[in-house]
Chain A
Amino acid sequence: MAEDEKPQRWLVTPGEVITEERLRLGPGVYVQDGKIVAKVLGLAEIKNGMARVVPLEGNYVPKQGDTVVGIVVDVKIPGYDVDINSPYKAFLPRDQIRDALEYGDVVVATVRFVDEVKNSVLENARKLEGGQLIYIASPRVPRVIGKNASMITNIKNLTGSKVIVGANGRIWIKGGHSDIARDAIYKIEREAHTHGLTDRIAEFIRDRVAEEEGNSESDSHGEESKEE
């Protein structure tokens, strides 16, 4: 639990009073009659004089500076329309990517600009080849990354996979024990609201990796060398 989070995090539903104190307002709260009230389903937290609710559900809304994993849905002369798993459209100008893209290509990019109706322009894109693409609820992405990227570093080191996490809930995994990395991420998504997750996930991955390597040793050595 130590580095994961403080125990003063609790599950709230919309309309529940978080505190009657005057504090700074974080995301997920509103003020009524001088009380700070939750407006989304999530985990309430009071830290450094700020009250906020970390949501557990909800669709992705693009924010400037976010890293997103998108899928090309249209090719136009000035650039590409990219689906970013959101109700809003994203556009990737042609000069922001080296490769020529086709319909269905997967890219990772940064959100450069979001307009007043939340349509966005992307920059610094890179095409992702091969691997697998999984989806999780976008509000739980911060748990997959962890504090100072502790969780994701753990996953990468223990499984040897390349992992790219989009803030929009799309995650690209390639190489190493990629199926274990996938299962670990799904496990984080399911248990995003619980304590002590980093340790539990590390244990989960170690067990699975040991199991798989044990199996491949007894089965055939060819399999194992392919994995290395």
Chain B
Amino acid sequence: MAKKAKKNDIRSDGRGFDELREIRIQAGVLDQADGSARVDWGITMKRIAVSEKVFKKAESLKEQYYIIPRGKEGGNYVVDVPAKLLDKIGDEFGNYKVVGEHFKGNIAIVAVHGPREPIPRHVADPYRAVLRFRYTMAPFSVPERKRPAPGRREVEISKVSREALQGVIFANEYPMTAIDVFAELLSADAGTRVTAITAASVALADAGIPMRDLVAAVAVGRAYGHLVADLTKFEEDAPDAVDLPLAVVPRTEELTLVQMDGRISRKDLDELIELGIKKAKEISALQRQALKEKYQRVVGNEQ
């Protein structure tokens, strides 16, 4: 294991080490589904125009920071830099000019159908509703085209996501039915399974399904010598990376999903789980707010 990863003082995208990316949750976005939610979970990137010399320097800075030198565009050398990083190390880019701004991160849309008649009927359980979860990624969600057929990865994520939600649903109230959850990732930048689970629990609540709590999910881990919350793709690819997605039942602090890539000490693991629970509670507050906003919108319109 490459233990000698460079230890950055500033996080690669300018965030605090325990700071989440920007998360925006909307409930009830689809008309045809019984319940639905959309989660946008990512960072703001600024596109800046720089001199040729600075551009060369940016080529070397990208080893350390989440910046994307894009080359020559419209007569300018253009680099994408996270907005928060630009605030901190703007000096490195000399006299730059901001030419654009865009979102970089995960976008998940989740539709919940049901409880409804299970098809095929033989999957029905006379004691409880069966929960089905389908996670899919759009072919255009990642830099290289993703083949649309579900592969091992999608099947695995569907399974663990289903299991992360199954325990909180009062499934015995709807015997002989199926609850179908469809999670579609339109854009991906690490942490898609936690985005999907976070969105799915909002969509389930929006469908009126009885649940013990809203499951909130977040990835924590290690990158460039720091324990961090909510890793980006750049951080997941760090030489010392540890990626630990967690799904948390915030009220009781139960964990319904724990997976891990990489190696880590017991002490760091305990610290990360504690951090994950703390961050999940922040996400939980956003989920509740999103559900309530759906109804407050209506009141606002009419009174």
Contacts and interface: CB of A to CB of B under 8 A. Distances in A.
Interface of A: 11, 13-17, 28, 30, 32, 37, 39-42, 55-59, 61, 87-88, 116-118, 137, 139, 190-191, 193-194, 200
Contacts of B292: 11, 13
Interface in B95-114: 114
Contacts of A190: 298
Nearest to B299: A194
Interface in B206-242: 206-214
Contacts of B295: 11, 56, 193
A15 B250 contact: yes
- Please list the 5 inter-chain residue pairs (A to B) with the smallest Cβ-Cβ separation, ordered nearest first: A58-B208, A57-B208, A15-B213, A14-B211, A39-B210
Nearest to A137: B208
Contacts, number: 97
B140 interface: no
A139 B208 contact: yes
Contacts of B249: 15
A123 to B, nearest CB: 22
Interface string B160-204: 000000001010011111000000000000000000000000000
B57 interface: no
Interface of B: 34-35, 114-117, 126, 168, 170, 173-177, 205-214, 249-252, 284, 287-288, 291-292, 295, 298-299, 302-303
Interface centre among A15, A55, A59 (most CB of B within 10 A): A15
21 contacts: A13-B205, A14-B211, A15-B212, A32-B251, A39-B210, A39-B211, A40-B205, A41-B291, A55-B208, A56-B208, A57-B35, A58-B207, A59-B114, A59-B208, A87-B174, A87-B177, A117-B176, A118-B174, A191-B302, A194-B302, A200-B302
A116 B172 CA distance: 11
Contact of B114 (A39, A42, A87): A87
B110 to A, nearest CB: 15
Contacts of A87: 114-117, 174, 176-177
A118 B176 CA distance: 9
Given A40-B208, A116-B175, 19 more contacts: A11-B292, A13-B287, A13-B288, A14-B168, A15-B211, A17-B251, A37-B213, A57-B207, A61-B173, A87-B115, A87-B117, A87-B177, A116-B126, A118-B175, A137-B208, A190-B298, A193-B299, A194-B299, A194-B303
Contacts of A37: 212-213, 251
Nearest to A28: B210
A223 to B, nearest CB: 31
Interface centre among A14, A16, A58, A137 (most CB of B within 10 A): A14
Contacts of B168: 14
Contacts of A11: 292, 295
Contacts of A193: 295, 298-299
Nearest to B213: A15
Contacts of B250: 15
A5 to B, nearest CB: 15
Contacts of B209: 40, 58
Contacts of B177: 87-88
Nearest to B284: A15
Contacts of B291: 13, 41
Contacts of B251: 15, 17, 32, 37
A31 to B, nearest CB: 11
A88 B115 CA distance: 10
Contacts of B126: 116-117
Contacts of B114: 59, 87
Nearest to B295: A193
